[in-house]
Chains A and B, each alone.
Chain A
Amino acid sequence: NAGVTQTPKFQVLKTGQSMTLQCAQDMNHNSMYWYRQDPGMGLRLIYYSASEGTTDKGEVPNGYNVSRLNKREFSLRLESAAPSQTSVYFCASSEQQGLSYEQYFGPGTRLTVT
């Protein structure tokens, strides 16, 4: 039971290049999320998927697209990377249980855009 996995762990891009960050969870959770974390700040929500087949914008969606490939996988795509997208990206998943809404996070992808 690996929980939430993310690939790659590290990536360096040049401005204008594109890439896709991959995320998979094996906990059979319905909801999945993408966050970014910048130095000295908390995590900010980019996009989320409440269930397979649905996606919604979070707080900072500009410059990103997402795909909920199936119940397990949720990818984040940068079409034309910019230096402002240099950040650590975290994927998370959750399943509501009663009043509990805990999200479980992957190890992160550290992205540098030069």
Chain B
Amino acid sequence: DQQVKQNSPSLSVQEGRISILNCDYTNSMFDYFLWYKKYPAEGPTFLISISSIKDKNEDGRFTVFLNKSAKHLSLHIVPSQPGDSAVYFCAASEISSGSARQLTFGSGTQLTVLP
């Protein structure tokens, strides 16, 4: 039973346009969400995160939106660049008493930015 779902395996966008990657979750105990970018043969690279006390977090070209009532988050990349072509993973973490957080990952979306 997937608790974090990325329903679009792939997305193609023209360079300079907006890329919107979506993620849905089912566990209402999740309180922290992250996006990672992964290039082939490399480890995932942290991109941006958001706590459940916020509904938006922005970092340069990347913005993450959280809709808690819909259990949905999205990553916006504006403007998209060819170097953004990678697999994007959504991840979620639930409230924990300790400092370690178990991350639950979605299956990823392959973003291709066309020049």
Interface of A with B (CB < 8 Å)? 4, 30-31, 33, 40-45, 48-51, 56, 58-59, 90, 92, 94-96, 99-108
Contact = CB atoms under 8 A, between A and B. Distances in A.
B17 interface: no
A64 B43 CA distance: 21
A30 B99 contact: yes
Interface string B18-53: 000000000000001010100001111110010101
| Of A43, A59, A90, most B-chain CB atoms within 10 Å | A43
Interface in B78-102: 89, 91, 93, 98-102
A42 B99 contact: no
Given A50-B98, A101-B93, A43 B103 contact: yes
Interface residues of B, number: 29
Contact of B51 (A50, A99, A104): A99
B102 A42 contact: no
A48 B102 CA distance: 8
B51 A42 contact: no
B99 A45 contact: no
Contacts of B113: none
B99 A102 contact: no
A46 B76 CA distance: 30
Contacts of B49: 100-102
A30 B105 CA distance: 22
A40 B106 CA distance: 10
Nearest to B52: A99
Nearest to A48: B100
A102 B102 contact: no
Given A42-B105, A105-B45, A107-B42, 15 more contacts: A31-B101, A40-B107, A41-B107, A42-B4, A42-B89, A42-B91, A42-B104, A43-B91, A44-B105, A48-B100, A59-B104, A99-B51, A102-B34, A105-B36, A105-B44
